[in-house]
Each structure stands twice: as C-alpha cells, then as structure tokens.
Amino acid sequence: MASIKVKFRPSTVAGHQGTIYYQIIHERKVRQLLTGYKVFPYEWDENRSMIKMTQESDRISLVHSINERVRWDFERLSKIVRKFNATCFSYTVDDIINEFNRYTHDYSLFYFMEGIIAKLRQNGKIRTSETYKSTLNSFKKYRADEDIMLDCISSETMKGYEAWHKARGVAPNTISFYFRILRAVYNRAVEDGVIESRNPFRHVYTGVDKTVKRALPLAVIKKIKALDLTLAPALDFARNMFLMSFYLRGMSFIDMAFLKKSDLKNGYVTYRRRKTGQLLIIEWTKEMQMILDKYPENNSDYLLPVIRNTDTNERCAYLNASYNINHSLKCIADMAGVAIPLTLYVARHSWASAAKVKGIPLSVISEGLGHDSEATTRIYLASLDTSIVDEANSLILSSL
C-alpha cells in the first residue's frame, strides 16, 4: 500500500516562504511531488504535517485557499492509489505521479470543457457549442484565467461566481443560464467517473424567472413600420429584418439568415428550424416580397441580404449582422417610443401575442412558431400581454 505525506521544505533564505510538497512511498521507493504552494515557516505545523491558519488579515484568504488545494490534492492522490490497488496489477510510485499529473492536465474545468465544446462542434451543434464557450469565457473572467480542478469545484466556488455576477448587475436568468451549463459539464464528469458529485450547485439559483413582457401590440408594430428611415440605411435594414421576422410568423433570425433562394418555391417558403429540426412551410406574401424587392443586388444563394459574401465565415457574418441589427433596433425603439428593449426576438414574441389577441387557438400558434410542444408556447404567452386580464380585473373592481 502506497504512503502519501504532506511535507514542507523551508527556503534557504531566512524569512522567505518555503514550498509544500508530497512524499510518496511505495515498495520502498520514495518520490517527491513538488507543488507551487508556498507558505511561511510559521504557517506550517511540523508536528501535524499541515498548514496552520494565519491571523494576518492580508493572508487569511490565500492560506485558506492553499490549504483547500492541498486537501484536494491529497484526496486525489489517495483516490489514484485506491484505483491502482483495485486493479490487482502491480504499479510503481512513478505510475502514481504520472497519473496525478495526467489527471491535473485532463480534468481541469477549462480543459475538460474545451473538450466538450470541440465535440459539440464536431457533431454540428454549433449553437450549443457557442453557449458553452460563452459560459466558459464568463467563468474564466471570474477566475482571472486561473483554472480549477473539477473535483475542487465547491458550493463556495459557485456562490462566489453568483455574487460576482450580481455585483456586475447581470440578470438572474442569465446567471442561471451559466449555472445550468456548468452543472451539465460537472454532471458529465460525474457520469464519466472522473469525480464524485459534491452537489456544488445546491445553494445557487438554476431556475428560470418569469421574464418581463417582450411583445409589442400591433399598433406599435404599425408605428415602427411607418417610420421614415430613408436617410438611415442601417436603421432601415434593421427595421425591415424585424418586420420580415414578424411577417414570417416570428421566424428566428438564424433561420432567416440561412434561408436559401431555393427554399422559396411556388409561393411558399419551406425550411427546417435550426433549433429543433422541425419542418415548416410558410406562405410567401406581398409584404414579404416588398421587403425583398428593396435588395435586388443580392447575388448570394441566400434569400435575404444577411450573408452577402459566402467567401467569408458565414457563421461570423450572421452573428455580426445580428449584433448590428439589434444595435440599430435600440435607436428605432427610441424613435418609436418603445419602452422595452427592442431586439429581433421581440418580433417573434409579438407575432405570438398578436395571434393570441386575435383568438387563434394555442395549438395553431404553437405550430406557427415551430414549438415542439404547446407547453413551450404557454411559457411564451404567459407573460406577453396582460391588458385583457387587467381589463377584466377593472370590471370586477368597478362592480364592488
């Protein structure tokens, strides 16, 4: 059975910090595994072979962090030894160190998550890979690019990450979105047998709050449509894409951007939703054609003038167009007196809201939006337009 001990090597320079290392003994062979952890001699308990908690306010946090890392390393080394012992094969002390170093490289959060992102891209799940990358970048920013081992992720780590977001004014649903992705990555590591679950997400919020109303009534849509934007081509283009999304039954912008000219045949647009793969067929109307006629110079294979140069990265072209349009829509919102943040996604919500107001059945709205289930559509409609309920409440109160 291998023996693992935590040791301290004082600095040769008086008053300087010494280095913590691990002594591993197996079959009479002794090896030292150096760490980058440094503490002062007075912060080390030689009799108990452990770090002593300092009383210096400027070092309490650092020493506590080092103590936690040493504890995790010791547990990791012990786990490796138990695994080797369970195989019934002979192993050396160098095998323990090599496995520890491999684990430290392969099972850090950053490295493990990059591997998942690469696999998602390889499997064609580009959008999902982008959300994972966005989450990783956010967590890297929080950690100041300092990686963390998967088995070192604790409830305190996640609470600190949540507090960091709140201090920056990030919305609860956005924070929850990041947590759900991190939890999925963590659970993947648990399923792969890399770590044992410590449930680090138990004290942070991973639900979805009811969002504020994101739909515009038809009167406001008409007001946006009537704006004179002839002297502002960028705003005019953004307004046209917003209206096109509304006309196309709230089609998402990514589906609009990648519509091919060949998708329009015999007066109908036929396409598959990128998010769900569902096949949808939409009648092509004169309103849609009027917008299309404004851009006769489009020589690409795409129906709408979003991805104009197919020699460039099409995904980047779509993302740039989406960013520019949403930025322009903020200006249009000010011009039209729209109070809510105006984005392309508002067009989708607005179509659903208009359909609801017109008395269109839920099943039809769900089909029009390309939802997998009516439950998803109910969530969409739950916070859209409360004016009817408000009117009913007013009638009730007036009868008192």
C-beta of residue 268 within 8 angstroms of C-beta of residue 276: no
- DSSP annotation of 4 reads E
Token pair recorded at residue 63: 């020493």
Instruction: Indicate whether 11 pLDDT > 80.
Output: yes
pLDDT-based confidence at 384, cuts 50/70/90?
very low
Q: What is the mean pLDDT of residues 86-92?
A: 86
| High-pLDDT (> 70) share of the chain, % | 92
CA pair distance 81, 97, nearest whole angstrom: 10
- pLDDT at res. 400: 39
Burial class (CB in 10 A: 0-12, 13-18, 19+), 13: exposed
Read off the pTM. 0.64
- pLDDT at res. 354: 80
How close are the terminal C-alpha atoms of the chain, in Å?
A: 82
Q: Average per-residue pLDDT in the chain?
A: 87
Greater confidence (44 vs 106) lies with 44
C-beta of residue 22 within 8 angstroms of C-beta of residue 65: no
Task: Give the helix/strand (H/E) hosting 373.
Answer: none
- pLDDT at res. 254: 93
pLDDT-based confidence at 316, cuts 50/70/90?
confident
CB-based burial, 365-381: b 16+ in 10 Å, e otherwise: bbebbbbeeeeebeebb
- pLDDT at res. 234: 95
User: Could you give the 3-state DSSP secondary structure of residue 3?
Assistant: strand
CA pair distance 158, 210, nearest whole angstrom: 23
CA pair distance 304, 257, nearest whole angstrom: 6
CA pair distance 288, 262, nearest whole angstrom: 16
C-beta of residue 171 within 8 angstroms of C-beta of residue 165: no
pLDDT-based confidence at 232, cuts 50/70/90?
very high
Of 42-51, 128-137, 347-356, which gets the smallest average pLDDT?
Answer: 347-356
- pLDDT at res. 399: 52
Question: Helix H segments across the chain?
Answer: 60-87, 93-106, 109-122, 126-142, 155-167, 172-191, 218-226, 233-247, 253-257, 286-292, 314-336, 344-357, 362-369, 374-382, 387-398
- pLDDT at res. 5: 94
Strands of 29-39's sheet, edge to edge?
3-9, 18-26, 29-39
- pLDDT at res. 65: 83
Strands of 268-272's sheet, edge to edge?
264-265, 268-272, 279-283
C-beta of residue 20 within 8 angstroms of C-beta of residue 49: no
Instruction: Indicate whether 168 pLDDT > 90.
Output: yes
- pLDDT at res. 20: 95
Q: What is the mean pLDDT of residues 70-88?
A: 88
- pLDDT at res. 153: 92
